[in-house]
A and B are shown apart, each in its own frame.
Chain A
């Protein structure tokens, strides 16, 4: 009765396991790739050992034999740790199955396992152990290079984090929206010619054919400027100059200044970053078979480089343009020339970095819209 009861429970356990989720094969694949077979093989041995006593699951049950077949394949892997080999040998002995009688599976051939620090394999002859794996790869498939993502990813993350912080630290009254269509139209009419002429002098068409002048539409650049949640820093010192609407003045001046300089800055930054990224990505990923990995790395790099270049390049031109617009706007409100200069200087020094951050954001986003001429 005890024996019969044990058998009944074990069979139910195995039945539920095989039908409801204990997919041992999948566990093996993941364990093989991540260096976890040191756990999964003893686990499997313990589960399969009682099969000998089971009417339904004893060999040659197909489910059981499938697992044994996979274990034979693993057993034959070069440089497999002795303790793992031993576990497999003991299991076969307990099941009274001769390993020679079991045809090994071929489920692990196309899977790349983690090499460094892998506890499943001994470290000696690592290069020799790699060769059989490579030899097993079918000739039509090139193995994926195990590369480390370029560091610009880290920098991109940290910079993306810093931008919201930079924006949020400019606590101020709510931004009053400016909707000056006449000014927009005027800027649009003036700027494209400047952008085009700069493009011609900076880059010859043969160098970057896909980055034609039409790609640098000024209206697209202006549309890409972030407009929500912008708060200007209004210095307390300004209250001594009277209760002017400093946020509104700052918003109008910054809007005009950015439109004035953003075209040439973005074009130069994107052009240089694209060329650099093309040369370096083609060199570093020459052996990479996965196009999406190449594309992802390229976009990450070009965005980071373009953003940084745009930020550092725009600072002085933006300072000049912003100072000019602020001066003219403030003079329209107050007659005191000396206080105009002081107000202008305070507003510029406190908000220049915000303007540069906006331009950097445009450069980083804008570059993603163009296809990189990698091939």
Chain B
């Protein structure tokens, strides 16, 4: 679809492209078809770079719809994000699959930027958290960054925080994914990604059980100065990091003494 690529390239020129796309006859249905025709190529992985580019153009247009205040609600009501789950679940490391996952994450990222509890609830109900953790674990730095950003937005929401800290399995799954991200940054730190991670930990520590669990599972690299040079030139990052360290060592949140923390800890 040459037209798809043309619209994609010129999308910045249109102020209300999202409204045009949503309200034109058959456009969204056509974009959905672009998505489902590549499903057979996901497993076994036979996706070509050309096919990946084509479906990513369609996803970019869907991201326009997800970003616009007037079309976002319709986008959710039509359950469009659920057709991206199959892309986010893939684990092939090839460039065309990585690009597909990154673009899919971009659509979800556009949804969570506005801090709307209804959107967070939609993602929780439809099990997007495991998909974000999956991409934090296997993705490139850019995919890790977008996936961690989404996870941060989820835990910043009250319902999201409750969801993550609801039981030990979920909490440790999130913790493990964050730890994987931290480990992956030891050799090549990313300031932006590191700040997303720290914000996740800070938010999780606001939950009493989360605070207790983090006493034991916070990655050592965040405490032993591994990332000091990375954040040296970033005041806000340094502030976040110090905030996290102070909270973890003072034992304030969680109600005082070690006994209380021990009592609330899992296992």
Residues of A within 8 A of B (CB): 147-148, 150-152, 155, 202, 272, 275-276, 279-280, 283-284, 301, 304-305, 308-309, 311-313, 315-316
Q: Decide if the interface of chain B is mainly helix, strand, loop or mixed.
A: helix
| Contact of B36 with A by CB under 8 A | yes
| Contact of B188 with A by CB under 8 A | no
7 additional A-B residue pairs with CB within 8 Å, beyond A151-B33, A276-B32: A147-B26, A151-B30, A275-B77, A283-B74, A284-B25, A284-B26, A305-B32
Stretch of B79-87, B110-118, B227-235, B247-255 that contacts chain A: B79-87
Q: Which of A148, A276, A284, A308 contacts B39 (CB 8 A)?
A: A308
Q: Is the CB of A152 within 8 A of B78?
A: no
Nearest 3 interchain pairs by C-beta: A279-B78, A308-B36, A312-B39
Q: A272-B79, A279-B78, A305-B32 are in contact. Are A312 and B42 (CB under 8 A)?
A: yes
Contact with A along B20-59 (1 / 0, CB 8 A): 0011011011101100110110110000000000000000
Whole-angstrom CA separation of A313 from B86 in the bound complex = 7
Nearest B-chain residue to A203, judged by Cβ: B125
26 contacts between A and B (CB under 8 A): A147-B25, A148-B26, A150-B26, A150-B29, A151-B29, A151-B30, A152-B29, A152-B33, A202-B125, A272-B82, A272-B83, A276-B80, A279-B77, A279-B78, A279-B79, A280-B29, A283-B22, A305-B32, A305-B83, A308-B36, A309-B83, A312-B39, A312-B42, A312-B86, A313-B86, A316-B89
Q: Which of A275, A312, A313 contacts B78 (CB 8 A)?
A: A275
Q: Is the CB of A284 within 8 A of B79?
A: no
Whole-angstrom CA separation of A25 from B105 in the bound complex = 61
Question: From residue A155, how far is it (CB to closest CB) to chain B in Å?
Answer: 6
Chain B residues near A316 (CB-CB < 8 A): 43, 89
Question: From residue B32, how far is it (CB to closest CB) to chain A in Å?
Answer: 7
Whole-angstrom CA separation of A283 from B29 in the bound complex = 11
Whole-angstrom CA separation of A311 from B74 in the bound complex = 26
Residues of B within 8 A of A (CB): 22-23, 25-26, 28-30, 32-33, 36-37, 39-40, 42-43, 74, 77-80, 82-83, 86, 89, 125
Question: From residue A159, how far is it (CB to closest CB) to chain B in Å?
Answer: 9
Nearest B-chain residue to A268, judged by Cβ: B82
Whole-angstrom CA separation of A155 from B77 in the bound complex = 24
Whole-angstrom CA separation of A275 from B80 in the bound complex = 10
Q: A150-B29, A151-B30, A313-B86 are in contact. Are A305 and B36 (CB under 8 A)?
A: yes
Whole-angstrom CA separation of A276 from B89 in the bound complex = 21
Q: Is the CB of A155 within 8 A of B37?
A: yes
Q: Is the CB of A311 within 8 A of B39?
A: yes
Chain A residues near B125 (CB-CB < 8 A): 202
Chain B residues near A301 (CB-CB < 8 A): 29
Whole-angstrom CA separation of A202 from B122 in the bound complex = 11
Question: From residue A237, how far is it (CB to closest CB) to chain B in Å?
Answer: 18
Q: Is the CB of A276 within 8 A of B37?
A: no
Chain B residues near A313 (CB-CB < 8 A): 86
Whole-angstrom CA separation of A151 from B30 in the bound complex = 6
Whole-angstrom CA separation of A155 from B82 in the bound complex = 20
